[in-house]
Structure 1
Amino acid sequence: MATEIIKYLTVYLSSTIKVIFGCLLGTGYGHHFLITGVLTTLGMMTSVYIVTYFGTNIRHASQAVLRRKQRNIFSRKSRQYVRVWQKYGMPGIAFLTPLLLMPIGGAVIANAFGAKKKDIFKYMWISCTFWGFVLSALVKFAGHWIPFLDLP
């Protein structure tokens, strides 16, 4: 019983960092893809809520400790984020977050561009639910085509 709870927690917590980690672990543990999709979605949204509500405090505390040298504000990557934001807005950032960014990164970008919390949560819930279940199903049913995964 305790080992099953630890497996579920592992899938949930790994999804707070990167979506595909939760999908791979859930499939590797032999969970049904719907269970894996739910745990993955909840893990992603946990990190979105934490960053959205506590991101400013975390940033100020980390800057006080680290005191890094000044970096360039305009880089190739930041220009791409601005382009996506200008063209697609919050729905575009939310759609790309599970695929290209970590859930934490998507929430940071959305907050940095000044999106309303209500919009962040609405679009992230839609995107995380969609991609959580789609990626879980893809790993479950098509993961055997990738030989190094060695999935059951």
Structure 2
Amino acid sequence: MGDYLITFLGIYFLCLFKFIAGPVLGFAAGYALWEIVVVTVSGMMTSVLFFTFLGEWFKKNWSIIIKKKKPKFSKRTRNIIRIWQKFGVFGIALLTPVILTPIGGTVVLTSFGIAKKKIIGSMFISAVFWSIVMGISIEKLLQIPFLRNMWT
């Protein structure tokens, strides 16, 4: 039980920063799909909750610390704004696990002034969806003999 808990907490900690760590490391640890979903979603949602409720403070103090002259609209910010204009909150939330990080997606939504309830709800739906999709995909991909031989 001690090894299981240490493994679970290690994967959980990595999911605070990178979503993909949950499905990949969960599968490597021999977790069932429901365990992969639980560890991945709980890790992402911890980051989402933390940065949602401390987002305004973080944004205010972060801008004071960083005084470099950066271009206001980089290629990345233009792409985020384009996604925002086309798909709104759910577009950003859907792309957070795949392209952005849990922290990055939450900070983007917070900076757009989205209600905390909407951020948490959309991120939760996205986290559950992507953890199931990635968990099943990794399992199915490793049934291919070439890939299975590389893994073991």
Q: Same fold (TM over 0.5)?
A: yes
Who is 2:99 aligned against?
100
Output aligned runs, 1:1-152, within 5 Å. 1-64=1-64, 66-143=65-142, 145=144, 147=147, 150-151=150-151
Partner Cα distance (2:119, 2:55) in 1 = 13
Partner Cα distance (1:143, 1:56) in 2 = 42
Equivalent AA in structure 2 for residue 54 of structure 1: L
| Runs of 5+ unmatched residues, structure 2 | none
Count of aligned positions: 151
Query: For 1:58-82, what per-residue CA distance to the aligned partner results, in whole angstroms no more than 9, with x for missing partners?
Result: 3444455x44412111111101111
Q: Would the alpha carbon gap of residues 140 and 76 (structure 1) be closer, same or farther in structure 2, given more than 3 Å must change?
A: same
Q: Would the alpha carbon gap of residues 14 and 148 (structure 1) be closer, same or farther in structure 2, given more than 3 Å must change?
A: farther
Equivalent AA in structure 1 for residue 41 of structure 2: T
CA contact (8 A) 2:90 2:122 kept: yes
Q: Would the alpha carbon gap of residues 143 and 16 (structure 1) be closer, same or farther in structure 2, given more than 3 Å must change?
A: farther
Q: Identity across aligned pairs (percent)? A: 34
Counterpart of 1:50 in 2: which secondary structure? helix
Partner Cα distance (1:142, 1:94) in 2 = 25
Partner Cα distance (2:66, 2:90) in 1 = 33
Provide the TM-score with structure 2 as the length reference.
0.89
Q: Would the alpha carbon gap of residues 150 and 13 (structure 1) be closer, same or farther in structure 2, given more than 3 Å must change?
A: farther
CA contact (8 A) 1:84 1:93 kept: yes
CA contact (8 A) 2:56 2:110 kept: no
Counterpart of 2:98 in 1: which secondary structure? helix
State the 1:149 CA deviation.
9.1
Equivalent AA in structure 2 for residue 11 of structure 1: I
Partner Cα distance (1:19, 1:150) in 2 = 23
More helix per residue: 1 or 2?
1
- Superposition RMSD in Å: 2.1
Counterpart of 1:100 in 2: which secondary structure? coil
State the 1:130 CA deviation.
0.6
Partner Cα distance (2:39, 2:94) in 1 = 19
Partner Cα distance (2:129, 2:2) in 1 = 30
| Runs of 5+ unmatched residues, structure 1 | none
Partner Cα distance (1:149, 1:55) in 2 = 44
